[in-house]
């Protein structure tokens, strides 16, 4: 990791430490002892299911670029990539997934393009939901905040419209020109059916994401109505990907503390929710599933004769 990257990551960590001390470590620990374990278990179930559903969605996006991964490899790929993506900088988990799934039949650019559209879909969804929250609720931000979220939506639309030059740029970066976006949607799979599968899995993933937040807040004693949950969860998700923290520590809590002021009695509840999200739902649970699979050598990389036909089931 470069010195510049270390400095940027330190910003978010310093912010989290400051918030943790401000919220009172004693109150955070007391809240941990009093946490609702049943609600935390429900949050864990939603988080684990969300990891799998998100990768199901990615697999169907990959189909539109002409690639695929085997269904039996999807769960190991999902958890191992999620674990490495969260504990290392630069989304290394996705890079590992590319390294595994790439073969002589599929180019790395196909996988990179699929990740690009996977990220755009998440960013645009969260931005749109946050915009709805801003205009429907009011009091959570001014015109400049709404304009910033609008830019994210515009960027997503531009990414789809200008996908060909973007793809050429990706291919130049990796030194490959072995896939063309003109082939997008021309795989062996039916485009309407694949698009429907992407939409359904995406809606399920979004529902699981907000359900995780709902049960997590319930576990620390917070009652957050749905409209506020959608707004704060969306903005927190966008803040968590800023390259100034590790797994969103600090930036996520700063957003939640700002937007959820009417719904918590003590800042320690929000800080505890952030700790549980990162260390229990993200690191521990992903690690519990991913590390045994990793040690068992799963998923096993397919050999060339066993490679599936692009776009196959």
Tokens of 269: 């509840």
In this predicted structure, what is the pLDDT of residue 54? 92
Instruction: Look up tokens 């001014």; give the residue.
Output: 142
Residue 28, domain member (yes or no): yes
Asked if residue 186 is part of any domain, the answer here is yes
Domain membership of residue 312 (yes or no) is no
Separation CA 254–CA 18 (nearest Å): 10
Question: Do 218 and 36 touch, CB atoms closer than 8 A?
Answer: yes
Per-residue model confidence (pLDDT) at position 307: 42
Structural domain contains residue 180: yes
3-state secondary structure of 301: coil
Residue 85 lies in a domain: yes
DSSP letter for each residue of 102-140: -BTTB-HHHHHHHHHHHHHHHHHHHHHHHHHHHHHH-SS
**Beta bridge mates, 106:** 103
**Does any domain span residue 311?**
no
Those residues of the chain that have pLDDT short of 50 are 104, 140-141, 144, 175-188, 304-313
φ/ψ of 84, rounded to 5, equals: -65, -35
Residue-level pLDDT at 15: 82
d(CA 97, CA 81): 6
What does the radius of gyration of the chain's CA atoms come to, in whole angstroms? 20
User: What's the pLDDT tens digit per position in 248-297?
Assistant: 778 888 888 888 888 888 999 999 998 998 888 888 888 888 888 878 87
What is the DSSP-derived secondary structure letter of residue 20?
Answer: H
| pLDDT of the residue at 217 | 95
| Residue-range definition of the domain harbouring residue 196 | 3-306
Evaluate whether residue 313 is within a structural domain: no
Tally of domains within the chain: 1
Bridge partner list, 103? 106
pLDDT of residue 131: 72
């Amino acid at each position: 990791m470069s010195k510049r990257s270390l400095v940027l990551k330190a910003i978010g960590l310093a912010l989290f430490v400051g918030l943790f001390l401000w919220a009172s470590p004693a109150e955070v620990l007391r809240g941990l002892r009093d946490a609702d374990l049943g609600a935390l278990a429900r949050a864990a179930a939603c988080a684990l299911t969300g990891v799998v559903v998100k990768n199901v969605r990615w697999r169907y996006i990959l189909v539109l670029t002409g690639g695929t991964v085997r269904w039996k490899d999807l769960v190991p790929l999902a958890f191992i990539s999620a674990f490495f993506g969260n504990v290392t900088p630069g989304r290394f988990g996705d890079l590992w997934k590319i390294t595994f799934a790439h073969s002589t039949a599929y180019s790395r650019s196909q996988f990179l393009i699929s990740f690009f559209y996977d990220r755009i879909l998440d960013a645009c969804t969260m931005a749109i939901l946050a915009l709805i929250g801003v205009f429907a609720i009011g009091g959570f931000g001014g015109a400049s905040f709404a304009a910033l979220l609008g830019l994210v939506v515009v960027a997503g639309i531009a990414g789809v419209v200008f996908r060909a030059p973007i793809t050429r740029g990706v291919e130049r970066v990796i030194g490959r020109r072995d896939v063309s976006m003109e082939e997008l949607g021309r795989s062996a799979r039916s485009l309407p059916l694949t698009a429907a599968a992407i939409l359904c899995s995406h809606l399920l993933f979004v529902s699981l994401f907000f359900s995780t937040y709902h049960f997590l807040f319930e576990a620390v004693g917070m009652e957050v109505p749905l409209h506020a949950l959608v707004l704060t969860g969306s903005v927190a998700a966008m803040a968590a990907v800023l390259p100034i923290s590790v797994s969103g520590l600090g930036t996520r809590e700063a957003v939640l503390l700002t937007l959820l002021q009417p719904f918590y009695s003590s800042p320690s509840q929000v800080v505890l929710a952030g700790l549980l999200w990162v260390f229990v739902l993200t690191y521990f649970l992903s690690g519990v599933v991913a590390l045994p699979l990793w040690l068992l050598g799963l998923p096993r990389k397919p050999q060339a004769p066993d490679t599936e036909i692009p776009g196959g089931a």
